[in-house]
Structure 1
């Protein structure tokens, strides 16, 4: 059996369950050092990503012996919605953990479904297919966590699917105050998808968003509905049947912020549009958005007020956005970064 210097395990682990433990144990059996790549790091909590990367690392650590904990390190990687950039970020993070000498690296995983395509992004690493010993899915676990009304019944279901120490961890975690908001969001998403269940084809939604820059500020709204309630987002919404994209972006901008700027001024300030189409960018389903960038220049900030789906509209200093990543809805931080260069 070939042994490796480093074995890599990649996942979101939302939460870490017995199937994930099989991956980790396989990696520990094949290499002295193991790096667990924690995907979807640095993002706001939501019903699909309820645990921070630190919480996930803590859960994994609970399942390990003291000796194995010393062999495992964690690499948090944010969602970049760009496979080449994401692959480069993971590869760079693994390289930083070596001493500079050439290493034999293994990637441990199993091809669950189409979402496992990322396993093919690392051709220089040897792929090791781990056995699938447990028919358990994190999606089902989250459903148990957020739909269970009886604490004891929920606990009993989780006990059969997770390590005893993680089961204990989850019991305490589910009692935290923010979990009520995650439950409400989960329920809203279930209702949303149920409304489209009878459609002959799975729907693909088209939306628009507006990135409005002025005098070193960008215009954001605070979401008021159950999905992403309290998180900061770009003003935007669904394209209506008879609208052009730019017309729709300006309409949504006005409806959610009351932006006191003439349409002719906004049209003159429009610089470019970019499409964001990652299949997993929205919990609502396949949602393709067209983000419109407006630059009003070094002008006095127009008055705004939250309305429609927005509880609040506010001009935010662009220099503050980098520190707000974990407070921003879905992929809107990536959209802001695309136009404003937040991380550069």
Structure 2
């Protein structure tokens, strides 16, 4: 019995996602849905937790009459490294008899070619339908269309939570910054000593209250410092394709117990928790 594997962020699940899942269930015995970015803090780009997205998907499939016993949903963390991420996917799937479903929308779909030993099954496409556009409508107060009833109901309920206001302010701030010149990079400081990690807490609307490695953005054309560990995954920053240049050295902030910090990936801004893990691994 073949397992269909569908990978996505589903932020939020829309009619195109539901159509793909139902088509996969019609052709295959089981469906495994991997919910990406499961280790990241809420943001305007990833507003909903893996648990919330799984709930919306289950409710939409049940309403469509699908047998949920044939469906598994698992969180998939972002690794910001293709090889590490692909290995994580393989561990989650844990079978050679897999069919990868999806369609090549843009560069974010390049992963479809990373599993040559799996059968690739193109999914049906709803032209012009994008979760990015749905999030824009949601945060701009416009009507949200082409989503299952379960998604619409969740979005309406979520709108009444204080979290919505914070994410909406972040979205609007990011929209305003998109009209300005983009930094050429950012410098961050990694300082870990005696079982503690030095972290700052973000102020302002973008990532408000989250932990981050202290640092600053580089102006357009400003050179990056030498002897840094570079993190340059295209999707690492909410501002766009901006590399991070990480220096080992004392930065500002407060000492947070390292064990606590490592247990709380959702308290970190962008990919900073992943950066901490890599820097610790390279030091040992």
Please give the TM-score of this superposition, normalised by the length of structure 1: 0.77
Render the CA deviation track for 1:261-309: whole Å, top value 9, x for unaligned.
Answer: xxxxxxxxxxx62100011111111111111123x7xxxxx9x6xxxxx
Are the equivalent residues in 1 in contact too, given 2:187–2:217 (CA < 8 A)?
yes
C-alpha distance in structure 2 between counterparts of 1:71 and 1:280, whole Å: 32
Go from structure 1 to structure 2 and tell me whether the alpha carbon gap of 1:139 and 1:327 turns closer, same or farther (over 3 Å shift). same
Checking the alignment, whether the CA contact within 8 Å between 2:34 and 2:75 is kept in structure 1 is yes
- Specify the alignment match of 1:206 in structure 2: 185
In structure 1, the partner of 2:238 is 283
Contact 2:86 2:114 in 1 (8 A): yes
Cα distance in structure 1, aligned partners of 2:206 and 2:110: 28
Figure out how many residues of one structure are paired with residues of the other and give that number.
280
Secondary structure of the equivalent of 1:123? coil
* Cα root mean square deviation, aligned: 2.0
- Rg larger for: 1
In structure 2, do the counterparts of structure 1 residues 131 and 242 end up closer, same or farther at CA, with 3 Å as the change threshold? Answer: closer
Q: Distance in 2 between matches of 1:175 and 1:135?
A: 28
Partner of 1:32 in structure 2? 29
Question: What is residue 213 of structure 2 aligned with on the other side?
Answer: 234
In the alignment, which residue of structure 1 is the partner of 2:138? 145
Return 5+ residue gaps in structure 1 as ranges. Answer: 149-153, 197-202, 247-271, 297-301, 305-312
Q: Structure 1 residue 33: deviation in Å?
A: 0.8
Rounded to whole Å, the distance in 2 between the matches of 1:118 and 1:75 is 18
Secondary structure, in 3 states, of the residue corresponding to 2:151? helix
Match of 1:256 in 2: none
Runs of 5+ consecutive residues of structure 2 not aligned to the other structure: none
Against the structure 1 CA distance between its residues 191 and 242, is the aligned structure 2 distance closer, same or farther, given a 3 Å change threshold? closer
Query: Could you say which residue in structure 1 is the equivalent of 2:72?
Result: 73
Inter-partner Cα distance in structure 1 for 2:195 and 2:248: 14
State how 1:82-101 maps to structure 2 within 5 Å: 82-95=81-94
